[in-house]
Chains A and B, each alone.
Chain A
Amino acid sequence: MSDQLTTTVEDQAVAQVTLVVPCLAEFVGVVRLAILGVANRISFTYDEVEDVRLAVGEACTHAIERCSEYRAYLTDRGQEQVEVSALKIVCTIDGSTLTVQVTDTIPVAEYVDVNSNSSLDGIDYQKLGTVLMEILVDHVGFEANSSGTTVTLVKTAGQAS
């Protein structure tokens, strides 16, 4: 798509949208809906918008699964149950590039994701989620530390990924 046809972002500076939801499966839909609105600010094609939504959905699902594993892990050790942790989604629109960061609050230092290889039918769904994200957007980054994990997804309009 030529620059000439890009109409919505020409007079906009960098814009940021932040969304915080409970780390629960039923809120993935809320996030997907919000992403639709944000992604529409950029000249994405219909399929590109859907790709971003799917990738963000995967990132959230990943965090939520780890969150429930973490709660189970704490219960096993007889530790106090954590409150439902929050999932923070930060969307940054910069020209025709959308960056979405999904951050959870599960401490990595304390709890290492030992179960990531577990699956019923020989399929490692968490690994697949990562592969899926890498297919759908232009760049995927992971950053984990003691305060949580951040998945960064970057997609630019009009780039085949």
Chain B
Amino acid sequence: MISDSPQEKTTVGHLPETPERNAETLFRRFAATRDDRLRRQLVLMHHNLVRYLASKFVSRGEPLEDLVQVGTIGLINAIDRFDTERGIKFSTYATPTIVGEIRRYFRDKAWSLKVPRRLQELNLAASKAQEALSVKLGRAPTIREVAERISATEEETLEAIELGNAYDTVSLDSQMSSDSDPSATTLGEFIGAEDPALKNLEAYGDLAHAIEHLEPRERMIIVYRFFSDMSQADVANHLNISQMHVSRLQNQALKTLKRILSDQ
């Protein structure tokens, strides 16, 4: 690059290296060479700018690290497009690009679940309508009233209200504490699960029904053996028969039960 102003010749190397002067030199060299190492150096040099701008957006509920990351993409784009000849400071030039990237991130990505734009807008309208109607009616409005107000069907309205929860998801490991129990419990512990005993209950019903089909003596053996936890010898004593006989009758009864239950 041949420069025509005498000032510029002295720029490189001779003036004290202020951060700004240094950046300007680097930008000129980068513009001429497109050297990847210079680019990296420029990115690192201006990283404070990204952190500063990203920190302005933390209150919107996204981690600073994520915002710095998307902001850095904006910074890189700005570095690639910056033209030193235009005479504006790089930070002034880069700020809209960085902030634009961060805001785009909020617009497109920050909803934890992807929700159609139409529903996002309906959600907003529904919550405004709920508020306005509450004031007007002096009570919480019904879904039908909200739906009428925003000219949507009741189903759409419900969907729109419900999806407000999708903006922000909560970790199952997030800490919950109550006044009575300050020791931390997690949200996950509050989530119900299907009780396996319920399935057993159904099986018990079927079994009770099947047992009724057994011979009285077989039925007694099954009840003693499996519900009263008696040994074959005890059952034999009880029924005044040999243990061998108990064993045979038990096997026979179990076979019958299996057949009845598998037929059902």
Contact = CB atoms under 8 A, between A and B. Distances in A.
Verify that A and B bind, or say they do not.
yes
Interface stretch (B119-127, B182-190, B248-256): B119-127
B150 A122 contact: no
Contacts of A8: 128, 131-132
B226 interface: no
Interface of A: 1, 4-8, 43, 45-47, 50-51, 53-54, 57-58, 121-125, 127-128, 131-132, 135-136
Given A45-B124, A132-B99, A135-B99, A122 B20 contact: yes
A43 B128 contact: yes
A5 B107 contact: no
Contacts of A136: 99
A54 to B, nearest CB: 6
Interface in B133-155: 149-151
Contacts of B150: 4-5, 7
A43 B125 contact: yes
A47 B125 contact: no
Given A122-B23, A127-B92, A131-B92, A46 B167 contact: yes
Interface string B203-214: 000000000000
B60 A50 contact: yes
B106 to A, nearest CB: 5
Contacts of B247: none
Q: Of A1, A5, A45, which is in contact with the most chain B CB atoms at under 10 Å from its CB?
A: A5
Contacts, number: 79
B122 A124 contact: no
B126 to A, nearest CB: 9
B91 A5 contact: no
Given A43-B128, A121-B19, 16 more contacts: A5-B122, A5-B150, A7-B129, A7-B150, A8-B128, A45-B120, A45-B124, A46-B124, A53-B59, A57-B56, A58-B56, A122-B19, A127-B89, A131-B96, A135-B99, A135-B103
B125 A7 contact: yes
A80 B151 CA distance: 63
Contacts of A122: 18-20, 23, 91
A127 to B, nearest CB: 7
A123 B52 contact: yes
A129 to B, nearest CB: 9
Contact of B91 (A6, A54, A123, A135): A123
A11 to B, nearest CB: 9
B106 A47 contact: yes
A125 B23 CA distance: 17
B49 A123 contact: yes
20 contacts: A5-B121, A5-B151, A7-B128, A7-B150, A8-B128, A8-B132, A43-B125, A45-B121, A47-B106, A47-B107, A50-B57, A50-B106, A54-B57, A121-B48, A122-B20, A124-B89, A124-B91, A128-B91, A132-B53, A132-B95
A148 B12 CA distance: 43
A7 B132 contact: yes
B100 interface: yes
Interface in B55-101: 56-57, 59-60, 89, 91-92, 95-96, 99-100
A136 B92 CA distance: 15
Contacts of A128: 49, 52-53, 91-92, 95
B252 to A, nearest CB: 71
A49 to B, nearest CB: 10
Interface string B15-52: 00011100100000000000000000000000011001
A47 to B, nearest CB: 5
Interface string B233-257: 0000000000000000000000000
A83 B254 CA distance: 95
Q: Which 4 A-B pairs have the closest CB atoms?
A: A122-B19, A5-B125, A131-B95, A7-B129
